[in-house]
Chain A
Amino acid sequence: MGRPTSSSSSIDSPNHFAFSSTASSQRDLTTDLRLGLSISIAPPFVREQWPPMKAAVAEEEHECNSSTFYVKVYMEGIPIGRKLDLLAHESYYDLIRTLEHMFHTNIIWAEAEMDRDHYEKYHVLTYEDKEGDWMMVGDVPWEMFLSAVRRLKISKC
């Protein structure tokens, strides 16, 4: 974790305790992605352990640090959810592949084809957006999806 060590700057320097909200980000993202995602890119030495909250309450929603974006995924009928790093995926196809593997099922999304005779083998993938609405995954461009998604749900057909 990148904390600047005190020995590298003089104690009397006015910058020693300065807080700059425009310090360079440690993330390696395309400009589009950074603009689309309203994730804080405050310098780690301030963001670390701030604001002062106990872990359980602070980590409830998104866990966003320098290059990950974890969202919760629940499958219908199973109370214990999983967490998935969306930024570890390049595209919808990548995401679907991971989910099918994680949950051992076939996933229906906007671009999937389904064998209608065996619908019980399929699950539908939806996501909750910033407005709290549940939408089918795959209709909007991947980057737009990343900026809107809050969590995922896999439901029976």
Chain B
Amino acid sequence: MHKKMAFSFPDEVLEHVFSFIQSDKDRNAVSMVCKSWYEIERWCRRKVFVGNCYAVSPRMVIRRFPEFRSIELKGKPHFADFNLVPDGWGGYVFPWIAEMAGAYPWLEEIRLKRMVVTDESLELIAKSFKNFKVLVLSSCEGFSTDGLAAIAASCKNLKELDLRDCEVDDLSAHWLSHFPETYTSLVSLNISCLGSDEASFSALERLVRRCTNLKTLRLNRAVPLDKIANILRHAPQLVEFGTGTYTADVRPDVYSDLAGVLSSCKELKSLSGFWDVIPDYLPAIYPVCSKLTSLNLSYATIQSPDLIKLVSHCPNLQRLLVLDYIEDSGLEVLASSCKDLQELRVFPSDPFGAEPNVSLTEQGLVAVSLGCPKLQSVLYFCRRMSNEALVTIARSRPNFTRFRLCIIEPKTADYLTLEPLDVGFGAIVQYCKDLRRLSLSGLLTDRVFEYIGTYAKKLEMLSVAFAGDSDLGLHHVLSGCESLRKLEIRDCPFGDKALLANAAKLETMRSLWISSCAVSFAACKLLGQKMPRLNVEVIDERGPPDSRPENCPVDKLYIYRSIAGPRFDMPPFVWTMDEDSGLRLS
């Protein structure tokens, strides 16, 4: 007998309700309520996010979500940013493009991070998706300007082309000219990573002139300062702008041209670029500073006094990226001028120098933490730290969601007491209850991991290097951090015990990276055998791991959950441990 529930809605109504639910987490939760909700949800999901391209196969995604318009894929592990992942490791996007091209032509958006993208992939995108609108490639590599030319020539509805931090083979300066004269839809263009591109200034100017909806334009270093005025003149509606090289002979006409054109950009909120800055040209941007919410000076090699002057003109700054030339004194000014500051990144100007070249210490970070009530995200490189400073920071700024501290010299102790920094970082995790991301540095024992396991209940990503004394450290983290999704560890004395004892935990995480630690090949094999839904990949450029004794530590280990099984595109220096690994490794 059919008993119709009094409160069941027709599918169309549910679909309409679901359309207001945008976050992946919520969508996933909705799909698990019951079978009919799963079915309705999967037909109306328009945006798919795949945090690890090897966790699932393209066919599986397409089968489950037949009508998505937008996909985001991530490939290599985060430590690839620091050259810890050898070339050829993987992360190829082509299989995904090939499957999607075959399945349906209405894909509109592709966002990729740390993936290998070939010209062939770009050409296939250009050919297959008639309404293609958004291409964001973040820290990707493997393509050249030829691939970009194909995109420019074919994607008539392209709105966004963003190549942030990519490695591009700069073959021809003329790819920009492949945008047809009839093409006017560009809203966002980020080519800041491209190398020399001298000859295409006129193509760039013409493109900017006819794309009247352009809101974001990030130029590359090759665009000289005196060309910027000509480009900006045609785009006073810009909201985000990245300069090219910011140096030239000091000429009053160039200066006034630039200053004039900049002051007519009334919507400008974000500035970046500033390669090779000379201070003489900085005041040209003062007229726009009061509206700026984001400023990226990570290439600006100017000294503290000029940085201070600049920063004091920007009371509405929410995001600042800067070199340590700003020094403690500059950060104190920042703390008193920029009360809306939410994110700060301070990079080292001389990371390999034996002695500090600037006066930037823990004091700068303390000043900003005390002075900026909205500060929630920090990436800070410095040469000394104290528990006292960290406790002060934690107490005054419990709203941190991302806290990444890099004390440049590994295993540096508290400079005041010579003790480990366990207590300081312990305070961070104890007071900052919403902390989602943490990077540790300095001298640290197993104690700090005990604090993290006890308090960091919302922590999703943890980065550890040169820390801890024993397996107990790793055990604290794996057994205590309930929300942990990504864990990356290098050069720590963590071995088999903690890993094997917490094997089940690994299925609740996206991935675990361990390199230069003490995990033996035997443990890797065991893990691979026992956990069929984990891909346990040993990366070792010294040669096959079974050519050494089983108890030898592996060089690098990358473990991730997957429903797609082991991958088959591995280079010769990567081995997957699976159920048969005991039998068939060769």
Contact = CB atoms under 8 A, between A and B. Distances in A.
B303 to A, nearest CB: 7
A50 B348 CA distance: 12
B542 A19 contact: no
Nearest to B227: A79
B553 A56 contact: no
Residue among A46, A55, A80 with most chain B CB within 10 A: A80
In this complex, the interface size class of chain B, counting residues with CB under 8 Å from chain A, is 35 or more
B381 A79 contact: no
Contact of A49 (B83, B439, B466, B548): B83
Contacts of B165: 54, 56
A31 interface: no
Contacts of A41: 354
Contact of A6 (B193, B349, B555): B555
Contacts of A60: 299, 301, 349
Nearest to B547: A7
Contacts of A61: 301, 349-350
Interface in A45-77: 46-58, 60-62, 64, 76
B406 interface: yes
Contact of A80 (B198, B299, B466): B198
B343 to A, nearest CB: 16
A40 B408 CA distance: 12
A51 B67 CA distance: 43
Contact of B351 (A16, A46, A53, A132): A53
A132 B548 CA distance: 53
B552 A58 contact: no
A82 to B, nearest CB: 11
Contact of B466 (A19, A38, A47, A48): A19
B493 interface: yes
Contacts of A110: none
A39 B355 CA distance: 9
A40 B348 contact: no
Contact of A53 (B348, B549, B552): B348
Nearest to B466: A19
Contacts of B351: 51, 53, 58
Contacts of A11: 495, 518, 520, 551, 553
B279 to A, nearest CB: 10
Contacts, number: 92
A51 B455 CA distance: 27
Interface string B452-474: 00000000000101100000000
A30 interface: no
Given A47-B352, A52-B406, A79-B224, A57 B493 contact: no
B283 interface: no
Contact of B353 (A19, A38, A76, A79): A38
Interface string B425-465: 00000000000000100000000000000000000000101
Interface string A111-137: 000000000000000000000100000
Given A19-B466, A52-B465, A80-B198, A39 B81 contact: no
B222 interface: yes
A96 B552 CA distance: 53
A57 B350 contact: no
A79 B67 CA distance: 48
A56 B141 CA distance: 14
B492 interface: yes
B82 interface: yes
A41 B411 CA distance: 17
Contacts of A132: 303
Contacts of A47: 352
A130 to B, nearest CB: 8
Contacts of A57: 298-299, 347
Contacts of B224: 79
B491 interface: yes
Contact of B82 (A5, A52, A79, A80): A52
Contacts of B465: 50, 52
Interface string B531-565: 00000000000100000110111010000000000
B484 to A, nearest CB: 19
A56 B179 CA distance: 28
Contacts of A54: 81-82, 139, 165
B272 interface: no
A40 B352 contact: yes
A101 to B, nearest CB: 20
Contacts of B244: 79
A75 B433 CA distance: 53
A17 B492 contact: yes
Contacts of B294: none
A156 B82 CA distance: 40
B410 interface: yes
Contact of B410 (A19, A39, A55, A76): A19
Contact of A51 (B196, B249, B301, B348): B348
The 10 closest A-B pairs by CB, nearest first: A79-B224, A40-B354, A52-B82, A40-B352, A6-B553, A49-B82, A49-B83, A11-B518, A57-B347, A51-B408
Interface of A: 5-7, 11, 16-17, 19, 21, 38-42, 46-58, 60-62, 64, 76, 79-80, 132
9 contacts: A7-B542, A11-B495, A11-B518, A11-B553, A17-B466, A51-B406, A52-B79, A53-B82, A79-B224
Given A6-B555, A16-B518, A49-B82, 6 more contacts: A40-B353, A53-B347, A53-B381, A54-B139, A56-B193, A80-B196
Interface of B: 79, 81-84, 139, 165, 193, 196, 198, 222, 224, 244-245, 249, 298-299, 301, 303, 347-355, 381, 406, 408-411, 439, 463, 465-466, 491-493, 495, 516, 518, 520, 542, 548-549, 551-553, 555
